[in-house]
Structure 1
Amino acid sequence: MQLLPDPVTIINLFLCILIGMICLIGYVKIRSITPLVIGAAFFLFGISHAATLLDLKTALEQEMIVIRTLGYITRPFAVTYPRFE
């Protein structure tokens, strides 16, 4: 396992972490679970980016497909659902 210093993947991972933190702050402020669900989607994308940086992309190819699919399904569901209470 080696670290692949791809700038685009590093920026994507950083942005996933930042969005996750913003979603957590949003949850604390408005007490709705919607920001947490959105943050969970970006957490899944972050796992995918971290695995890519650690050169596990090919070894975990099927798992990456499942993780990314769950992220892509979770995000629009959280945005279009009125409010999770």
Structure 2
Amino acid sequence: MAAASSLSVMVLLCLAAVASAQLSATFYSRSCPRALATIKSAVTAAVAQEPRMGASLLRLHFHDCFVQASPVPSLSTLKSHSLLAPT
């Protein structure tokens, strides 16, 4: 059992090592050449109208990095967060 678990971890690590996200600043340069300019002007206008918008957008983009929730909440967790109606 431990050998199978170790093998699974090794395979996962090998796959992670060869995988790449292939992120590129020019990803939309052919399909939508004005994408970056359009996004920049929209964000600039939004921040000019509401100065807190810059922080809000940063929080939106990186929110998933900081969330630490259990995948399946327990009943006690739901009760403590007032997600259930009182009984």
Fold match, TM over 0.5? no
More helix by share: 1
Q: Return the structure number with greater relative CO, CA threshold 8 A, min gap 6.
A: 1
Instruction: Give me the TM-score of the superposition, normalised by structure 1.
Output: 0.30
